[in-house]
Amino acid sequence: MLTPAICTMGEDSHRTQYDVLATLGPGRHLMMGDDPRLPKMPDRPTLADFFRHRFVPMVANHLLQSAELARRAGLDETVVMACLLHDIAMAGLVTSDHGYWGAQLIEPYVGEEVGWAVRNHQVLRYFPDDSVGYRYPDAYVRYFGADYRPPDHIRHAYDQARGHRWYMTGRLITLNDVYGFDPGAAVAIDAFEDLIGRRFRQPKEGLGFDNSPVAHMWRTMIWPRNSL
Domain ranges for the chain: 47-222
Stretch 96-124: mean pLDDT, rounded? 98
Helix (H) or strand (E) holding 21: helix 17-21
pLDDT computed for residue 17 by the predictor: 83
Stretch 193-215: mean pLDDT, rounded? 97
Q: Dihedral sign, CA of 36, 61, 118, 145?
A: negative
Distance CA 173, CA 88 (A): 13
Is the model's pLDDT at 148 over the cut of 90?
yes
pLDDT classification of 180: cutoffs 50, 70, 90: low
pLDDT computed for residue 14 by the predictor: 81
Stretch 93-100: mean pLDDT, rounded? 95
Q: Which residues pair with 129 in a beta bridge?
A: 134
Give CATH for domain 47-222.
1.10.3210
Q: State the chain's mean pLDDT as an integer.
A: 94
